[in-house]
Amino acid sequence: MALAADGGDGMTGEVAVLGAGMHPWGKWGRGFVEYGVAAARAALADAGIGWRDVGSVVGADTVRGGYPGYVAGATFARALGWQGARVASVYAACASGAQAIGTARAQILAGLADVVLVVGADSAPKGFFRPADGERPDDPDWLRFRVLGATNPAYFGLYARRRMAVHGDTLEDFAQVKVKNAALGALNPNARYRKRVTAEEVAESAVVADPLRLLDICATSDGGAALVLSSMDFARRHGAADPVRIRAVSTVTPRYPSTVLDLPDIATDSAVSVEPPAHTFRASVALAAYEEAGIGPEDLSLAEVYDLSTALELQWYEDLGLCGEGEAAKLLREGATGPGGRIPVNTSGGLASFGEAVPAQAIAQVCELTWQLRGQAGERQVPGARVGITANQGLFGHGSSVIAVR
């Protein structure tokens, strides 16, 4: 499917990305508000927009920040200085940032605001994430810890074993994903880990959830990211004649029956009496974005995907349609997803280099697309980048993908 042409006024549903900003990822020991405000100010400066020009603030929530984290939109607006802006707060676990972008875009297209600031930030605990405290026997996320002891790394290990059994992926394939992403993260000033690694170092790192090693799994991090979005009319008035544009935001849920286990679900739905859907949940995430944008995977210049583990990155290659089912490892081995390849993936360094700062990460993915499509990614730059896609997944069927074009 060819990339649809822009007729001058922008395609229906497009909004401009005027600014992108981040607070570097790491373990800084400070509150999430500080990170979010730093990212917001960087995005406003990048856009050349004053804080008082912002008509709405959409915050991606964190459950680790008490009440301020639950009302992140108002929290960031207060920290920047009350000026009367509309506010909204969004929670969708790891998809919170994409949902926040979708909310901001809807406000702009509805005419509720010309300029919207989207912010996400987090201060993460040491070690893997666990459910919030309390007894919740009707909460699948709580149950998978209490009943199965299935931490996130355990889930990553199960998914890796599935790929090995079904598609023949190897430990060496998984290690090469880390090698690729670490090399790109070494070039990114916002990344937490800026050191190249070898496949041997991955293999020699401690086993966390067999078959995955420590270097196969992303860390938990502090960090923040922000975007300044606007209507196309405002962008032109502001002097941005050819801005990066968000053309699609998909936020889909699974279809019954689900035949591939995705935690926190403990069991898959039965497909005995009902035919499974044409596409798996993850594949439907990207498909909805492609259909909305009027493009196909062949039009992509790059992709930012949710590499909680090395094996999960390979799964996204197939779910985004970058290759056929079971061909992800082959695509990686050919160098297609690395620098200079046909479709570079995780040019930012991915979560392998950043770690998880949950509300910020889907926003950070769009920051990377923005810099790439502007030609501002430095040594990570994909030559001639015109179209990029993001993909990630939050708990309870929060699938999300954003397509940006230039």
Is residue 385 within 8 A of residue 301, CB to CB? The reply is yes
301 C-beta neighbours (distance < 10 Å), count = 21
Strands 56-60, 222-230: parallel, antiparallel or unpaired by DSSP? unpaired
Averaged pLDDT of the chain: 93
- Judge whether 15-127+223-243 and 140-213+246-405 match in fold: yes
Per-residue model confidence as pLDDT tens digits over 223-263: 999 999 999 999 999 999 999 999 999 999 988 888 887 77
pLDDT at 12: 64
Place of tokens 């998978």: 144
* Among the ranges given (2-6, 168-172, 307-311, 360-364), the one the predictor scored with the smallest mean pLDDT: 2-6
Of the options 3.40.50.2020, 3.20.20.80, 3.40.47.10, 3.30.465.10, the CATH number for the domain spanning 140-213+246-405:
3.40.47.10
Is the pLDDT at 10 greater than 70? The verdict is no
Is residue 293 within 8 A of residue 247, CB to CB? The reply is yes
Average confidence (pLDDT) over 366-394: 97
Query: Cα 395 to the chain's mean position, in Å?
Result: 13
Is the pLDDT at 193 greater than 50? The verdict is yes
Domain boundaries, the chain: 15-127+223-243, 140-213+246-405
Is the pLDDT at 143 greater than 90? The verdict is no
Report CA-CA distances (Å) from 52 to 82, 137, 148.
9, 46, 50
Is the pLDDT at 2 greater than 80? The verdict is no
Of the options 1.20.1250.20, 3.40.47.10, 3.10.310.30, 3.40.309.10, the CATH number for the domain spanning 15-127+223-243:
3.40.47.10
**Confidence tier at 309 by pLDDT (50, 70, 90):** very high
Per-residue model confidence as pLDDT tens digits over 67-117: 999 999 999 999 999 999 999 999 999 999 999 999 999 999 999 999 999
- Cis ω on the peptide bond leading into residue 211 (within 30° of 0)? yes
